[in-house]
Amino acid sequence: MGCPASGLSRRSASSASRSARSRGVSGRETPCRMIASRSRRSTPLVCPSVGEVHGEIRDEELEAERDAERDARRRLALAQIRQYPDAALRMKAKPVEAFDDDLRRLAERMTALMVDALGVGLAATQVGILQRLFVFVPGTDGEPAVIANPVITVSGDEVETDDEGCLSLQGVLAPVARAVSLRLDGKDVNGNDVSYELEGYPARTAQHELDHLDGVLIIDRTTPEARREAMAVLRPRVVIG
């Protein structure tokens, strides 16, 4: 969702968000409203464009340098995210019990990995930690959020099928049916109650990440044909010579 394994990948999120906007689903101004939470300034995910020459570096050279740096950070982040068929991706996470410095450090690390990997979600199981914790982007401002022991308490009746990618299944896009809107309750890293009302792609991301915490992947929820295509991409290849 990685898109972000969930880690949903940002690329799949962008394409799906565009298609959803054409249907009037996730193109609204406020797809997420957080209840009883403290807002923070968002972390910029994309460098702003430069409109002039800086020293001896022209615009296009500076942009190319930034793109190369972003790609390098993404490769480094993906190297730290468990990839299919890693066994951790099939394990069910346990509830978070200790809201301590270790949990906060884990949340910070996961947030940094998600941002560097250009994802919109990442679950603890994707970094080999079997705790019910994930980070995601719940709103249009790009600000990451962390939720522990997440539970969907209300789910809308409308269901939509759209393509999803995953930071743990590189190269795979698969159609998955998800509820269009939901309410997500849980705890922040300090153990305080938090609640999100999500609609459109943020709701899809939350469902994707919750699946990760239960050992469920998009290849388990897609069509048989899409699963066969995905497995062909994921199957180890024999290299000769």
Q: How far apart are CA 124 and CA 107, in angstroms?
A: 9
* CATH entry 3.40.50.2300 includes domain 10-40+66-234: no
Position 235 confidence tier, pLDDT thresholds 50, 70, 90: confident
Tell me what the mean pLDDT of segment 125-144 comes to: 96
Q: Is the pLDDT assigned to residue 25 strictly greater than 50? A: no
Q: Where are the domains of the chain?
A: 10-40+66-234
Catalytic residue numbers read 209
Residues 12 and 164: beta-carbon distance below 8 Å: yes
Q: How far apart are CA 189 and CA 147, in angstroms?
A: 7
The model's pLDDT over 36-69, given as tens digits with 9 standing for 90+, comes to 433 333 333 333 333 444 455 556 766 778 899 9
Q: Is the pLDDT assigned to residue 106 strictly greater than 80? A: yes
What pLDDT does 236 receive?
73
Rounded to two decimals, the pTM is 0.77
Tell me what the mean pLDDT of segment 3-16 comes to: 53
